[in-house]
Amino acid sequence: MKFSDTLYKSVKDIWDSYYVHPFVRGIGEGTLDKDKFKFYMIQDYIYLLDYAKVYALGVVKAETEEVMQGFSSTVNGILNGEMNIHRSYMEELGITPEEVKNTKASLANTSYTHYMLAVSQAGSLGDVAVSLLSCAWSYLKIATNLSKINGSLDNEFYGKWIKGYISEDYKEEVQWLLDLVDDLGKHLSEKELDRLTEIFINCSKYELMFWDMAYNKEM
């Protein structure tokens, strides 16, 4: 069994709850209050700035040029690809750069990113990869699930969010990270694998907290 299969099994119940979360479901059904989505957009934009820093730590921790290139490419993909979706929504929602700069990260947001940065800075390349995987992989799973809702992809507002996270470019980024995690898992002891699994579970719990935070607009 691949290490990623073990990781998925450890969080399946948590991830299944994402699909029925009122915020997530609201995107798929096109019924989510846009004010909640606006709150989410700003918080997620702030989150992605730190998320990109975790990927940058992968460049530092990498032991081969190929892995360095993979992490470097993904940093660029986040800052100049994924975040472009956010910038497009921000323009549509009337969110100014000043508003983003003047908005503080919520407690759930700060706790999540600080956790990822802490384990990545103190740990190995495996810690970096696993801490990143929960967000990247679960968004692909969520968007894939939402794409099956009748009319979701045709929704003129939320459709592009779903399409962005099932795009071929995004799928390739997630697959690269999955392959890296599986490769690293082949060379680790059971104790090390258990530690990485704990990080993955914690990050998955933080993802659920993030959805709750967005839906309730909690600072």
CA dihedral for 53, 54, 60, 64, sign (positive or negative)? negative
Give the DSSP letter of residue 81: I
State the number of CA atoms in the 13 A half-sphere of 48 facing the CB.
Answer: 22
User: Catalytic pick from 66, 91, 207, 218?
Assistant: 207
3-class secondary structure, 218: coil
Three-point CA angle 153, 158, 161, nearest 5°:
85
DSSP string, 18-80: HHT-HHHHHHHHT-S-HHHHHHHHHHHHHHHHHHHHHHHHHHHH-SSHHHHHHHHHHHHHIII
φ, ψ of residue 17 to 5 degrees: the values are -70, -25
Catalytic-residue membership of 82: no
Mind telling me the catalytic residues? 207
